[in-house]
Structure 1
C-alpha cells in the first residue's frame, strides 16, 4: 500500500483542480443567455460545479484509499479526464447547439465533426467515471476492512 506522503500531492491537486473546475462552472453561468442553446448552458454550469465538488470530495477522502500506487494514479487521471471532459462536452454543446446524445437538455444534431467530438467525450468520460468509482470503492472497502469490529473493541 502507499503512504500518506505519497498520496498528499494527489489530494492537494484534486482539491485545487476541483475548485478551479467549480470556478469554471460559476463563470460559464454568466454566459448562459449568450449561448446557442441556453438550456445546455445551464447544464454546463451545473456540470462544472458538480464535477468540481466531486474532485474536492475525492481529494478529501483520498488518504482513506488503501490502494497500490498504480491504482491511485489511474483513479486520479481518469477522474481528471472525466470531470473536465464532461464540462468541456456540455460547454461545446451549449455554444454550438450540437449534442444529439443529450436531447433532454435540448441538444440538436449539429456539425458531424462536432457531434463526433461531443459523443466521443460523453462515451469515454462515462466509462472513465465508472472505473473511478469502482477503484475508489475498492480502496474504501479495503480501508473499511481494517477497522476493528465492534465485538473486538468491546473486549
Structure 2
C-alpha cells in the first residue's frame, strides 16, 4: 500500500510542478524583448511551456508504469532535474547572451563560468531526459505485456 501512495504522491507532484513550470514559461515570454538575446528568450519561453506539459503528461501516465520503486524514484527526480535544468540553462543563456552550445538560438560565447554552467546543465539534462524516456518506455511496455 505504501508504494501506491508514493506513486500517487509522485504523480501529483509531477502535475503540480508541470503547471508551475508552464506558468514560468508563460511569464518568461513577457520579458523576451528585454533579454540580451531575445531569440534565446523565446527558446526559454518554449522550453518552460513544453517541459511543463511534459511533466503534466508524465504525471497523468505515472501510474501506468510497471517498474520497480527504485527506478521509479530515480526517474521521478531525474525528470524534475531535467525539466527545470533545461528551463534554467536557457534562461541563463537568454539573460547573459551566452550559450555557444546553442548557436541556432543565437548564443554567443560568454564568460568561462557562465559557459561552464550552461554546458553542464545542457549535457546533464540531455542524458537525464534520454534515460527518462527509455525507462518510461520500458515501464509502459511492461505494463502492456501485463494486460
TM-score normalised over the length of structure 1: 0.92
TM alignment of 1:39-118, pairs within 5 A: 39-118=39-118
> 1:4: Cα distance to partner?
3.1
Whether the aligned pair in 1 keeps the contact of 2:89 and 2:121 (CA below 8 Å) is yes
What is the distance in 2 between the residues matched to 1:132 and 1:73? 11
Equivalent pairs, count: 146
What is the distance in 1 between the residues matched to 2:7 and 2:86? 25
Q: Which residue of 2 aligns with 1:127?
A: 127
Unaligned runs of 5+ in 1: 148-155
- Root mean square deviation of aligned Cα: 0.9
What is the distance in 2 between the residues matched to 1:64 and 1:114? 40
> 1:146: Cα distance to partner?
1.1
Unaligned runs of 5+ in 2: none
What is the distance in 1 between the residues matched to 2:129 and 2:51? 11
Whether the aligned pair in 1 keeps the contact of 2:26 and 2:49 (CA below 8 Å) is yes
Whether the aligned pair in 1 keeps the contact of 2:14 and 2:56 (CA below 8 Å) is yes
What is the distance in 1 between the residues matched to 2:6 and 2:106? 44
TM-score normalised over the length of structure 2: 0.97
> 1:3: Cα distance to partner?
4.5
What is the distance in 2 between the residues matched to 1:5 and 1:33? 44
Larger Cα Rg: Structure 1 or Structure 2? 1
Q: Hey, which bits of structure 1, 4+ residues long, moved more than 3 A? A: none
